[in-house]
Amino acid sequence: MGVDSVSQITSGVMSSARILPASHVGDGSFNVLRWSMARDASTIENAQLAVVKNSHPIVHWMKPLDNLIATAHELLDPPLPRAICSSLLPAYIADLPYLPFEDVQYLAAKDVFEFPDVTLRNELLKTFVHNVYPYIPLLDLRPFLGAIACNDGSKPVSLLLFHAVMFSSTAFIEPEHLHRAGYTSRKAARQEFYQKARVLYDFDVEADRVVVIQAVLLMTYWHETPDDPKNFRYWMEIALSLAASTIQDLEGPDITPSTWHIWKRLWWCLYTRDRLVSLNLRRPAIIHDDDFHIPYLTIDDFETHAFDEATIHALGDWEILRSTAHQTQLAQLFIAKAKLCTILSGLLARNAPPTGSSDQLISMTQYTQNLEEWEAALPVELRYQSPSSQNLSKVEKTLFAYRAWLKLLFLNASSAISRHQSALRSATPSPESETEAETLLSEQRVQSAMRAIALVAEGLYRADAIHYLPTTTVGLLLPVLAIHILNIRSGSPDQWAIGFKSFYQCMRVLEQLSEVYMLAESMVAYFEKAICSHSDPKDAKSVSTPRLLEEVLTSAELKCFVHFVRREETGM
C-alpha cells in the first residue's frame, strides 16, 4: 500500500475522530476528546475498523490493520497516547512513558486506568498500613500516602506500585467494603487488582528499579493457581535479579542515609519473604545465606514519626498514623522476625533424610539453642499474651496478630526440631533405654508445642484477628492439624479429648484463611474429609494425602497418619 493509501487512512482517521481545529486545542476540549477515544477499548477498536473499511475497498473487511493505524497515529500526533494516559490518570499517579496507541488501547481494555472510588481506595490503603506493611515494610509510607492525600501532582506515585499495593490489601480488607464496591467476592477483587499490576509489569511501564522491586515483591502474594507460571518463584526471582544488579550502587560514598535505610529494608523483605514462603510450601530457598551480607536492621532504618495533619485528614484519622509508639513496636516485630528467619534458614537447609549421624544431632541441638536465645532476647512488649479484651482497636489487633504469628512461627520451628530429633535418634545406634528416654522427651516437647499453638489459635479467634494473619500461617498449621488427628485416633480418651479440641481451634483459623487463599481452602476440605473418614471406611480410602502434607511430616509421622486416615490394612 503506497503513500496515497496512507493519506486516505490519515484523512479517515481525522474524519472519524473529529480532530478539533488548533484554536480549540488549548481549551481542554482536545483532552476531553482523547478521554472519550480511550475510555472504551471496544469503541476504539470499532473506530479503527471503520477507518480501515472506509479507506480502501481492497482492505474493506480486514481487522484491524494495526500497523497502518499505528502509522497513521504517529503521522497525525505522536504524543497522543501519552496525552490519553495523562487524561486517564488522577493527579497522584505519575505519567506513563510514551506508548503506542494499540498498547494504550490494550491497557484500557485491562482496566488499568480504572481506580477504586475514594472510599474503597482509602480503606485499601488503611488495610495496607495495618495488615501488609508491618510484615513487608518495603516503601516509605509518608511520601506514598502524602502524594495520594494531597493529589496535586507534585510528587506522584507509580501506577504499577499503586495497583500492587491495592492488590496486596484485598486479602485483608473487610469484605463489606468490596461488596459495596460491586465485587462478588474477595477472590474476584484480588484477581482484578493482580491482573492490573501484572499487565503493567508486562508492558514495562516503570523505569525505576526500586519501584519495580517493590511492586513485584507485593505480587509474590499471588498464588491462587498452582499451575500459573507467574507464581511466587517467578516474581521473587525477578525482584532478586533487580536487587542484585543494584547492590553495587549502594557501596559508593554518595549513598544517602535515607536510600540506605530503604534498601536495607527491601533486602530484608526479600530475605524474610523467601524464607517464610519456602517454609510454607516446603520449597528450596532462592537466596543463599552465603550471598546475603546485609547488616541486621535497627530501629533507625524505619519511619517512626507521626504523619502530617493533611494526610490524616484526607485518608482518615487512623490511630497508627499518629502513634509513634505503635509504629516503633511494629518495626521491632519485623526486626525480630528477620532474626528468627536467619535461624529458620538453617532448618530449611536440612531437608536431607535423617542418617542418624552425630553431626545432624549436634546441628539440631544448636538450632534449639538458637531458638531459645531468640525467645529469651524478645522484649516483653513483643511477646504473645492472651487477649485482655475482645474489643481491640484496629492497630491493637494488628499488634496482637503479629505477636501471635511470631509465637506460632517459633512454636512450629521448635516442634519441627523435636520431631526431626526423634527421627534422627531412631536412625542412630545407641542403647535402647537412652533412645526411648530421649524420644519420649522429644514427643513431650512436640505435644507441648501443639497445645500452645492451639491456645494461640483460640486467642486469635476470640480477638477476631485471624484475618490479620499473613499467608504463611497456612503452612504453619498443616503439621499441627495432622498431629492432632493422630492424637484423636490414638485411642487414649484423654488424648482424644485434648486432640479434638485443639484440632477444632486450629481448623477455625484455617477455615477463615480459606476465604482468601486457595491452599487453605483445599487443606480445609482435606482435613474435614480425613476426620470424617473415621465414620465411613469408604471415604477413608478415597482420601489422598496432599503433597505438601507429605513434606511437612517426618516419614514416621506420615506413615502413621496415612495408616490412621485410610485404615486400609487394619479395617478400623
pLDDT at 82: 57
Q: Is 42 helix (H, G, I), strand (E, B) or coil?
A: helix
DSSP line for 470-513 = -TTHHHHHHHHHHHHHHHHTTS-HHHHHHHHHHHHHHHHHHHHH
DSSP line for 276-319 = HHHHHHT---SS-GGG--PPPP-GGGS--SPPPHHHHHHH---H
Q: Is 146 helix (H, G, I), strand (E, B) or coil?
A: helix
Q: Is 35 helix (H, G, I), strand (E, B) or coil?
A: helix
Where exactly are the structural domains of the chain? 3-88, 118-335, 350-566
pLDDT at 494: 72
pLDDT at 167: 97
Report how far residue 381's alpha carbon sits from residue 200's, in angstroms, rounded to the nearest whole number: 41
Q: For the chain, first and last CA: distance in Å?
A: 80
Question: CA of 360: how far to CAs of 371, 400, 401, 425, in Å?
Answer: 17, 36, 34, 10
pLDDT at 543: 56
pLDDT at 475: 86
Who contacts 418 (Cβ-Cβ below 8 Å, separation ≥6)? Answer: 442, 443, 445, 446, 449
Place of cell 490479620: 468
pLDDT at 83: 57
Phi-psi region of 235 (alpha: psi -120 to 50; beta: other; left: phi over 0): alpha
pLDDT digits (tens), the chain, 572 positions: 443 433 333 333 333 333 333 333 333 333 333 333 334 444 444 444 343 334 433 333 333 444 555 455 555 545 445 555 667 899 999 999 888 888 989 999 999 999 999 999 999 999 999 999 999 999 999 999 999 999 998 999 999 999 999 999 999 999 999 999 999 988 899 999 999 999 999 999 999 999 999 999 999 998 765 566 788 889 999 999 999 887 766 666 778 888 899 999 999 999 999 999 888 777 888 998 887 888 999 999 998 988 999 899 989 889 999 999 999 999 999 999 999 999 988 776 655 455 445 566 667 778 889 999 999 999 999 999 998 877 899 999 999 999 999 999 999 998 888 877 777 666 665 555 556 676 677 788 888 898 999 999 999 999 999 999 998 898 889 888 888 888 887 767 777 777 888 889 999 999 999 988 888 888 888 888 877 755 454 554 555 666 666 666 666 666 666 665 665 434 44
Report how far residue 231's alpha carbon sits from residue 224's, in angstroms, rounded to the nearest whole number: 9
C-alpha grid cell for residue 427? Answer: 536412625
Question: CA of 409: how far to CAs of 37, 88, 133, 258, 441, in Å?
Answer: 53, 45, 19, 31, 21
- Contact between residue 504 and residue 538 where contact means Cβ atoms under 8 Å apart: no
CA angle 479, 482, 484 (to 5 degrees): 110
Closest CA to 164 of 198, 141, 189: 198
DSSP classification of residue 77: -
- Residue 157: what are its φ and ψ, rounded to 5°? -105, 165
- Contact between residue 406 and residue 335 where contact means Cβ atoms under 8 Å apart: no
DSSP line for 199-215 = HHHHTT----HHHHHHH
Place of cell 500452645: 452
pLDDT at 359: 62
Who contacts 44 (Cβ-Cβ below 8 Å, separation ≥6)? Answer: 37, 38, 105, 108
| Helices 432-462, 473-488: inter-axial angle, 10-degree rounding | 120
- Contact between residue 198 and residue 223 where contact means Cβ atoms under 8 Å apart: no
CA 52 to chain centre: 45
- Amino acid identity of residue 540, one-letter, is A
Report how far residue 488's alpha carbon sits from residue 564's, in angstroms, rounded to the nearest whole number: 10
pLDDT at 398: 95
